[in-house]
Amino acid sequence: MTKRLMSAILVAMVLAAGGGVAAHHSFAPFNTEIEKTITGVVNRFEWTNPHTWLWVDVTDEKGAVTTWGVEGMSPNYLSRRGWSKTTFKPGDKVTAVVRPMRDGSPAGMFVRATLADGKQLTFGAGPAQ
């Protein structure tokens, strides 16, 4: 009986641990109550799973450059809405609205963006023509 109980506990622990691994991450690091606008030049756009990343070099009023990391949705989600791995290209000027990190680090969750040519990008649609 003791071996059977111990086996059941072990199986339950393994299943519980596996559930946590499969869970999606939390939005807790982001301040979802506010939006911050950043303007800069695209450093790179990472078309990677599970989330895309837009890296923007933002120059402040003193000329110092800070690279912001902007987390987006998955490539699969975005490609179904007209986005591609070339939606943002290095050197593109961009104004992005993000939900900033709570800890003040230069990063955030993508809300929307405007390219230099006026194209608007949201999670609902890719570049407007």
Provide the H-helix boundaries in the chain. 2-22, 75-79
pLDDT of residue 29: 87
Residue 47 included in any domain: yes
Residue 15 included in any domain: no
* Local confidence band at 28 (pLDDT 50, 70, 90 cut-offs): confident
Nearest to 70 by CA among 33, 34, 126, 30: 30
How far apart (Å, rounded) are the C-alpha atoms in residues 109 and 105? 12
What is the domain-level CATH number for residue 97?
2.40.50.140
The 10s digit of each residue's pLDDT in 1-21 is: 555 544 444 444 444 444 444
Domain span including residue 94:
36-122
Residue 113 included in any domain: yes
Query: Average pLDDT in the 29-38 region?
Result: 94
Number of domains in the chain: 1
What pTM was computed for the model?
A: 0.76
Question: Does residue 69 surpass a pLDDT of 80?
Answer: yes
- Of 41 and 3, the one with more pLDDT: 41
